[in-house]
Amino acid sequence: MDADVIIQVQGKAGRIRLNRPKAIHALNTGMCRAMLDALAAWHADPAVEIVLIDHAEGRGFCAGGDIRMIAESGAGDGQEARDFFRVEYQLNHALFTCAKPVVAFMDGITMGGGVGISQPAKYRIATENTKFAMPETGIGLFPDVGGGWYLSRLPGRMGEYLALTGHRLDGAECLALGLASHYLPAEALGDVKARILADPASVEAILAELSGTAPEPRIAEHRADIDRLFAADTVEGVFAALEADGGEWAAAQLATLRTKSPQSMKISLRLVREGRARASFAEEMAQEFAIGARVAQSHDFIEGVRALIVDKDNAPQWNPATLEGVSEESIAQIFAPLPAGEAWTPA
C-alpha cells in the first residue's frame, strides 16, 4: 500500500509529499505524526538545508483534515479527535518555528488543514490553480490550525470576512493579501522544484526569477465594503450592517452567512479578534486546541459533517438555530482553558 505521505531527503532538501489523492490529500493522524517526526530529524541534520512541501499525484494541495473521523470520534468519547488535533497542531507549530526555510506549494485546493501546513512556511507559492479557504463555519467547526493567528493579521477586516463566510480566494488574491509570498504558473513548478533541490541556498533568486505576474485580485474591489460591513464587535452586528446596506454584494454575503452555524460564527469572530493580541503562536494553538476539543463533540459539528459530507443533503439543523440562542456564557465555556493535564503543548 502506498504511504499517505512520502517523506525523503533529496540532495540537501527534506521533501514532504502528501499522497492521499482520493481524499484530496486530507491529513490524518498518521500523516501528521510522520511529518512531525521528519521535521524533528531534519532539525538536527546539518545535511538538510531546506524543506519542500507539496502533493504527489492527483489534484489539490490539501483539502483539510480527516473530518469524518473527527465527527465519528466526537459522537463518542472524542479521544481520537483530540489525538488528531494535538498532533496536527504540534505539526503546525513545528513548521512555524522551523529553523530551516520551508517552501509550500499551494497548487490547487488549500483549505483547513492545508492552510495549517502552508501558512507557517517562509515561501508560500500560489498558482492559477490555488483555491484557498477556511470554510469551517459551514460544518460547525471554526478556522483552526492557526487560523486565529493568520486571519487576524490580514489587512482591515479581511480576517473576519474569511472566517465567517468561508469565502474562497484564488492565487492572485492570496498573493495580494500576503497569504502567498509568490505567484507562479503551475507549469513552472517542476522546474522550480528541480532548481531548488539542486541549489537550496538560491531559493529566493529562483522564485524571484520564475515568478509570474498575477492577475488583478478580484477581492480588492470589495475591500472597503469588507472593512465597513465586518467591523462590528458581534456577529449580530455584522448581520445588522449587511441588512442595512441594501446592496447586492451585502445581500449575497448575508445569504451565505445564514447557512452557517450560529455557534461557529460566534466562536470564529471571537477567535480572530483575540488572535490579534495573542503573544505567541504556541499560545494561539493552545487556545484553538481547547476550543477544538469541545467543538469536536458538539451537536453542530457532528450535524454539519452529516449534512455536508456524509448524507450530502446540505440541510444542517443547527442548535441553537439562531445567533440570539447562542449565549455569551456558552462561548466563554468553549474558550475556557483546559485542565493542566489535558492542555496542548508543543512537541
Residues acting as catalytic residues:
65, 113, 136, 144
Band (242; pLDDT cuts 50, 70, 90): very high
Cell of 105: 506549494
pLDDT of 71 higher than 60: yes
pTM over 0.85: yes
Calculate the average pLDDT of the chain.
Answer: 97
Band (57; pLDDT cuts 50, 70, 90): confident
- Find out whether 123 and 182 touch, Cβ atoms under 8 Å: yes
Q: What confidence score (pLDDT) does residue 58 get? A: 82
CA distance 177 to 169: 10
Q: What confidence score (pLDDT) does residue 180 get? A: 98
**What domains can be seen in the chain, in order of their start residue?**
5-335 (3.90.226.10)
Mean pLDDT of 14-22: 96
Band (268; pLDDT cuts 50, 70, 90): very high
- Find out whether 108 and 59 touch, Cβ atoms under 8 Å: yes
pLDDT of 1 higher than 80: no
Q: What confidence score (pLDDT) does residue 25 get? A: 97
Cα atoms in the Cβ-side hemisphere of radius 13 Å centred on 260: 31
pLDDT of 129 higher than 60: yes
CA distance 243 to 254: 7
pLDDT of 163 higher than 90: yes
Kindly give, in sequence order, each residue whose CB lies less than 8 Å from that of residue 17, ignoring residues fewer than 6 positions away. 5, 6, 7, 53, 54, 55, 56
Mean pLDDT of 77-105: 97
CA distance 120 to 91: 10
Q: What confidence score (pLDDT) does residue 41 get? A: 97
Question: What does the pLDDT look like over 292-336, one tens digit per residue?
Answer: 999 999 999 999 999 999 999 999 999 999 999 999 999 999 999
Question: What does the pLDDT look like over 23-52, one tens digit per residue?
Answer: 999 999 999 999 999 999 999 999 999 999
Band (91; pLDDT cuts 50, 70, 90): very high
